[in-house]
């Protein structure tokens, strides 16, 4: 009985300590897209707030922006995916473009995501040639 209680408490704590991204990806797997989007938005807002003002780094003797580019990029891509699953093409493409710009700005590699985005553009047969060329030019 005691062991069972301990396991329950540990599970509860683990669920409570899950990051917004983990919660969002779990909800995505369950097909709860609006709820997943909320957690992705929360993760993105957190990083955006951290990125507003650079903080003083005494060991580096300079000011530096302290936020996780990876968390922010995953959140942006995740929001795009939630819209994609909800068949909201415009919103999905909007966030994919945001994701591409953000990743390029921070020098992230995103080969897997780029293939996925390209496939989505081709299947959604968008008429906007500029958008397509911009997104298809991704490495």
Partner 1 sequence: MGRDTVVAILAAGCLAAGGCMHTLPSLSKEQLNLKQRHIAIGVEGVYDVNEFNHADSVCQELLQLQCADRVKTTYDLSDPECEYVIRGNFAFYRVQTSNGFHRFSYYLLCLPLLSGIPNAHCDGMCMSSFEVYRRGSLVKTYEYRDVFWEERSYLTVWPLPNADPELRLAVRLLLRDMKTDFFGGA
Task: Using CB under 8 A, list all residues that contact partner 1.
Answer: 47-48, 51-53, 65, 67, 72, 90-91, 93-94, 97-98, 101-102, 105-106, 128, 130-131
Q: Which is nearer to partner 1, 30 or 106 (CB)?
A: 106
> Which burial class, exposed, middle or buried, applies to 79 when counting CB atoms under 10 A from its CB (0-12, 13-18, 19+)?
buried
Copy the structure tokens of residue 68: 């996780």
Q: Which is nearer to partner 1, 33 or 95 (CB)?
A: 95
Q: At what angle do helices 33-50 and 69-85 cross, to 10 degrees?
A: 150
Minimal distance in Å, beta carbon 117 to partner 1?
12
Minimal distance in Å, beta carbon 17 to partner 1?
26
Q: Which is nearer to partner 1, 6 or 57 (CB)?
A: 57
CA atoms within 13 A on the CB side of 82: 22
């Amino acid at each position: 009985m005691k062991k069972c209680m301990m396991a329950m408490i540990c599970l509860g704590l683990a669920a409570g300590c899950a990051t917004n991204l983990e919660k969002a990806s779990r909800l995505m797997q369950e097909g709860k897209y609006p709820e997943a989007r909320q957690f992705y938005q929360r993760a993105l807002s957190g990083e955006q707030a951290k990125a507003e003002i650079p903080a003083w780094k005494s060991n580096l003797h300079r000011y530096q922006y302290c936020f996780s580019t990876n968390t922010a990029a995953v959140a942006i891509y995740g929001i795009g995916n939630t819209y994609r699953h909800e068949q909201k093409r415009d919103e999905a493409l909007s966030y994919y473009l945001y994701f591409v710009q953000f990743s390029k700005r921070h020098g992230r590699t995103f080969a897997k995501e780029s293939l996925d985005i390209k496939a989505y553009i081709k299947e959604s047969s968008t008429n906007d040639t500029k958008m397509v060329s911009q997104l298809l030019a991704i490495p």
